[in-house]
Amino acid sequence: MAMLFRGYEIILQGRDPRDAIDISSRACGVCGGVHSSVSSQALDMAFGVQTPPMGVTVRNLGAGAEMLYDHPIHLGLLAGPDYSTALVSVTNPEIVRKAENTSAPHAHVHGYKTIKDIMDAMDPLTGAIYLEAIEFTRLGRARCATTCSASTRTRRRWCRVA
Amino acid sequence: MDGRDPFAAVGMRSKVVELPQANNAMRLGPLEKIYLIWMVGGSCDGCTIAVTGATNPRVEHLLAGIVPGLPKLELIHTVTSVESGPEWVHNLFMAERGELDAPFVVTWEGSMFDETRSGDGYFMGLGEDPETGRTITSAEWMRRLAPKAAAVIAIGTCATWGGIPAAEGNPTGSMAVMDYLGKDYRSAFGVPVVNVPGCSPIGDNYMETAAAVLLFLQGLAPLPEFDELGRPAWLFGETVHRHCPKRRLLRRRRLRRVLRGQGVLGRARLLGARGPVQHRRARHPQRDGWLHADGGHLHRVHDAGLPRQVLAYSAPPGSFISSRHTSRNGRVHPQDAHRHNGGQEPERPLGRQRGPIGLGAQHAAEGCSEAPPQGLPRLPALQDRALSSCSPVA
Ligand code: SF4
């Protein structure tokens, strides 16, 4: 429904190439870290420099931290409610009835006996998965804030060391 | 939809998400609930994500209406709302016609586009007019909703100063909400545009501000104090520098000399450390917005005047002088203040931001045998690195 043009490609033209790290990450608020780490990889290629082994490690840590925060956001907050009982019972009640009688695989791992239980847990604002996802994004974000900034800037830190 | 009115969108929401905790006994003011219409212009949704990180109060508590004294928030959000398509847009039409059963607050994320530049198309469309099928632009929604809103809160650097969409080259004519609505804008309840800058903003900054505004609307508190840029004064009165754990190092002369000798200070400035001139709270990284947040020290994009200066790697104007003042008293000296606020143009173009792309790469590829060609902007960190590493790479 919503369509958007911001012209970041035009803004990036003729700039200090290092600005790409920060500007391209503003393309998306959910996955921004990936945009900046890829920008810094592109800069590596453009300048013909090699990331030192520890730099690669730090970048990997950053990517891992982002995944830790990104997946709960997507699964719990953005996409999860679409599959919750609260919404599906309005749009497709027959699916909810079917879910009631379908047992969930690996129930001994996660504790939800039927698919309906999982759908209940994804209800916005009341479901257990939803609330836990919000809490986990906070933890993941704390991790991101400390690692991602380091990972996109490894090259600079390593200038001093190497 | 089994016989339900498909356009009873707001009603459907209350029926869908039955909140057991909602409890009117905690209501202290006239408002039982309030609609929060979260609209986007040229945004990346990072501000939304940042606000989910707030913990004081938590967003889920505010939405459930269990924060004492605050009305229950009914969120009408472009991304996280349960409705979609025409149902969602119907909420906005209801708000415009004043048919919602409670006042509404508009929170704007992202820059305002100058849609006169978009020709036949549009930069950002948000729903269609049901009669004519014409796409309504998000800027038009702002024009239609702002006069009726109880308050307009601009969140994020994009909405407060124009941000990255308004950076040099600005193809969309992006501007701040304040520029769009004009300085004299007052909401239906007499509140000016409230600015909560930051890219991404600190979730708690937004939450505290929103809570203060809600308390004002409830009649439980006076109108919060805002500074000359519309920011909540109690949150943005001090610079990041003030709470920097490394600030005391600057006070010790010998250490300062050592740091300078190692190039640390110069490098910090080179990397665009804006701590000395940025007004915001340095806080725990957990609440520090999202990935853009640098853990509190090197925030570059929180202050006004950014649009023409999104130059991450050059020192902000005035930082040399004001870092001296702020290292002593933690506040920007009034004489320096003009240098980096109010969105004014710097007196002279800032150095080193307009480097031709690819020259450094070309130089590195040519074997780094001679000095950088004249006219190449100096990029010390990169060039050092490119020069020192070209032998193993090549
Ligand atoms: S201010 Fe930053 S985080 Fe917020 S919408 Fe703009 S680019 Fe995204």
Which amino acid residue places its CA nearest to atom 6 of ligand 1?
A: B158
Mean pLDDT, each 10-residue run in order, chain B (394 residues): 40 46 59 89 86 82 82 86 83 90 92 87 87 90 92 89 79 86 87 84 85 87 82 71 55 58 45 44 38 33 39 41 41 38 36 30 36 36 34 31
CB contact under 8 A, A145 and B295: yes
The encoded tokens of residue B36 equal: 């929060």
In A, minimum Cα distance to B83 occurs at A87
Question: Is residue B310 in contact with ligand 1, taking CB distance under 6 Å?
Answer: no
**What pLDDT does residue B154 have?**
93
Atom of ligand 1 nearest to the CA of B40: 5
Report the share of chain A in percent with pLDDT over 70.
Answer: 87
Q: What is the pLDDT of residue B260?
A: 56
Task: Among A50, A139, A148, select the one facing B291 at the smallest CB separation.
Answer: A148
For ligand 1, atom 1: residue with the closest CA: B156
Structural domains in chain B, CATH included, are 9-218 (3.40.50.700), 240-389 (no CATH)
Of A42 and B252, the one with more pLDDT = A42
Question: What pTM was computed for the model?
Answer: 0.72
